[in-house]
Amino acid sequence: MRINPAYYFLAPAVLGLTVFKLIPIGIAVVGSFYGTSLMGESVFRGIENYRSILSDPDLLSSLGITLLFNLIANPLQVVLSLAAALLVFRPGPLIGLFRSVLFVPVTLSLVLTALIWNLLFDPFLGPVNAILEAVGVGRQGFFKDEAQAMGSMVWLATWRGVGYWMLFMLAGLYAIPESLHEAAKIDGASWWQRFRHITLPLMRRPIGFVLVAATAINMLFFAPVYVITAGGPNGATDFIMFRIYQTAFNYIDVGRALAMSTVMLVVVLLVALVELRLLRSED
């Protein structure tokens, strides 16, 4: 029998994806039904891990915080990345430079982004407070203030995210036939009318893609929480992924951490299914 040559080309990648992406999902699901006894042995616990995490008020508040973050950050990133794409879409002097500049924060790691904004937003030493004081707004607590910590996280994620999503919005804008705009212009349509009736309807798919892809990333927001707030102040930034990290590596309650991971995987994969339909319906 002749083996289809496709398999030779696919084998290494499929092996890699299976071992490092799919098997871990299996480990998460199976391990979520186990716990560790006092003797350090693995024992079957059934759905006990799930029952305990779903009745844990701290964890539910963590989920609430993560959802709130997504409800603010994701629409904000969609709107701003579309606006940025519109600003740099038409050619003009220096536009290419602005496009690159908007993209620069994307190349920074989340850790660097977190460190930079933690320093800039420092209540006592940070230059942002110096500017705010000079213009008469007054000094703010930012990450150190329970009421402002979440907003500061949204700012940080958006600062870094907008340039990336802008690329996908640009891809969408390039796909809109120029003739549509020309025809509308001849009919005397204003900029807003053209945006509202041509651009926006035809951008539904990239907007949907960005919304869902941003959700998949922001549901598991971690590094800035680890670096800046460690969940504080007073639990204001106790994101779910930070809790999973603590449960697994500080409290060494692996079964529980895996149950939490599994719940989040299901959430993210549900989101992914929506995304997949968006990508597919396009071919």
Residues 43-82 that bind other proteins (CB under 8 A): none
Least Cα distance to 152 among 120, 196, 174, 189 occurs for 120
Binding mask 187-226 for other proteins (x = CB under 8 A): ----x-------------xx--x---x--xx-xx-xx--x
Residue of 68, 79, 104, 252 that binds other proteins (CB under 8 A): 104
The CA–CA distances, whole Å, from 45 to 31, 51, 244, 249, 256 equal 10, 11, 19, 20, 10
Could you give the CA distance from residue 154 to residue 75 in angstroms, rounded to a whole number?
11
> Which residues touch 179 (CB under 8 Å, ≥6 apart)?
none
Residue 257 binds to other proteins (criterion: CB under 8 A): yes
Among 67, 171, 200, 252, contact with other proteins (rule: CB under 8 A) = 171
Q: Which of 91, 134, 192, 250 binds other proteins (CB under 8 A)?
A: 134
What mask of x and - would describe binding to other proteins in positions 12 to 41, judged by CB under 8 A? xxxxxx-xxxxxxxxxx--x----------
Q: Which of 52-60, 69-77, 141-149, 165-173 is the region at the interface with other proteins (rule: CB under 8 A)? A: 165-173
How far does Cα 194 stand from its chain's mean position? 31
What are the angstrom distances between the C-alpha of 137 and each of 55, 131, 140, 283? 43, 9, 9, 51
Kindly state the smallest distance separating residue 174's Cβ from other proteins, in Å: 6
- Quote the CA–CA distance of 196 and 247 in Å, as a whole number: 48
Our CB check for other proteins shows the closer of 236 and 275 to be 275
Among all chains, which residue has been given the structure tokens 């915080």?
A: 65
Give whichever of 72 and 223 is closer to other proteins, judged by the CB atom: 223
Number of H helices, E strands in the chain: 15, 2
92 touching other proteins, by CB under 8 A: yes
Report DSSP state, residue 40.
S
Taking CB under 8 A as the criterion, which residues in 113-132 touch other proteins? 115-120, 124-127, 129-131
* Choices 56-64, 70-78, 94-102, 141-149; region in contact with other proteins by CB under 8 A: 94-102
Residue 186 near other proteins by CB under 8 A:
no
